[in-house]
């Protein structure tokens, strides 16, 4: 280069200097960008690399541009990898799937926790189904936990209905106040679109009331409460719901009022009032008829008096006409 400069080629020397300067600038920029990226994402990339979480530096940079929290994604991938889940890019919990679920507004950590819990319990749950359940607004982690450990629901639920017992009446009219406990397990297959706890409680309550209503006596229910549980379970109340009913147990039975006797007494009282009203109506009609007859008697008596008043006039006319004497003389 110095030889060229000394040989009188200033134009070529300036071009080479420009190229070298540009190259140095590019190298400096590359080193600066690399240093910045290493400062920002180096720790996360190293954690993912050491855990075999399959998260590249390019993915981390792209997350920054896509407004994705890379710490959440890396943490989720590390948990999935360390738990032995499938993190392959074709069918497993890939980085792209985790990013897509984060951008869709889902709870990435709940989904990963639910998949790990399901895997430990031997429940078939992949990332796509767990993400769909989470995006549907259901608590996927609670659903998996309920699948492993069944949940107990009170029927009726005092927090929803404000009532602590169900009221049912047997055929003999005696009221029974019942409180039942329903043990359910989440049905992950029907969790999306399946009916919620309110439907299960309503169906169980309706079936209990119907079963007691078909009993001949409340004593039969008190002697054998299991008959109610068995009758309710046989109806398949968990159809099209997000739960599978494990058992229905009668927790408490109290004898209430004798509704049948009270209704009969009320009916008898109503019949008595009706009979009294009808008797009063007939008495009023009889009194009205009596007054009508009296009015007719008075009218006939007036006609009689008027007819009797005409007799003297007729006799006077006869005397004046001489008809009365002529008849007597003959």
Domain boundaries, the chain: 32-123
Predicted TM-score (pTM) above 0.75: no
d(CA 195, CA 271): 47
**Contact call for residues 153 and 181 (beta carbons, < 8 A):** yes
Q: Which two tokens stand for residue 292?
A: 């009508």
Q: What is the pLDDT of residue 113?
A: 92
Q: What is the pLDDT of residue 33?
A: 55
d(CA 195, CA 25): 65
Q: What is the pLDDT of residue 329?
A: 45
Strand partners, 154: 181
**What residues of the chain score a pLDDT lower than 50?**
1-2, 4-8, 326-330
**Contact call for residues 242 and 190 (beta carbons, < 8 A):** yes
DSSP state of 241: B
d(CA 65, CA 59): 10
Q: What is the pLDDT of residue 109?
A: 92
The helix/strand/coil state of 164 is coil
**Contact call for residues 66 and 99 (beta carbons, < 8 A):** yes
Q: What is the pLDDT of residue 27?
A: 67
């Amino acid at each position: 280069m110095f030889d060229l400069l000394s040989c009188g080629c200033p134009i070529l020397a300036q071009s080479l200097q420009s190229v070298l300067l540009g190259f140095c600038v590019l190298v400096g920029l590359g080193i600066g960008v690399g240093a910045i990226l290493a400062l920002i994402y180096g720790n996360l990339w190293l954690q993912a690399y050491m855990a075999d979480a399959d998260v590249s530096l390019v993915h981390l940079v792209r997350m920054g541009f896509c407004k994705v929290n890379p710490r959440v994604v890396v943490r989720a991938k590390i948990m999935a990898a360390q738990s032995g889940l499938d993190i392959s890019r074709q069918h497993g919990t890939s980085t792209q799937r985790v990013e897509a679920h984060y951008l869709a507004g889902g709870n990435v950590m709940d989904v990963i926790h639910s998949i790990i819990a399901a895997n430990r319990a031997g429940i078939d749950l992949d990332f796509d189904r767990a993400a769909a359940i989470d995006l549907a607004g259901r608590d996927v982690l609670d659903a998996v936990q309920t699948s492993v450990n069944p949940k107990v629901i009170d029927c009726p639920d005092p927090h929803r209905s404000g009532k602590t017992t169900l009221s049912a009446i047997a055929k003999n009219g005696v009221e029974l106040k019942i409180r039942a406990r329903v043990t359910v397990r989440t049905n992950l297959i029907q969790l999306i679109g399946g009916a919620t706890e309110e439907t299960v409680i309503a169906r169980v309550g309706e079936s209990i009331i119907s079963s007691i209503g078909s009993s001949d006596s409340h004593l039969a229910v008190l002697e054998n409460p299991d008959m109610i549980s068995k009758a309710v379970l046989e109806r398949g109340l968990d159809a099209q719901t997000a739960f599978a009913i494990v058992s229905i147990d009668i927790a408490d039975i109290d004898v209430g009022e004798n509704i049948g006797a009270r209704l009969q007494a009320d009916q008898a009282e109503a019949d008595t009032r009706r009979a009294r009203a009808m008797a009063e109506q007939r008495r009023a009609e009889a009194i009205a008829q009596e007054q009508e007859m009296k009015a007719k008697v008075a009218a006939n008596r007036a006609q009689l008096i008027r007819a009797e008043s005409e007799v003297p006039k007729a006799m006077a006319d006869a005397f004046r006409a001489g008809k009365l004497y002529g008849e007597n003389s003959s």
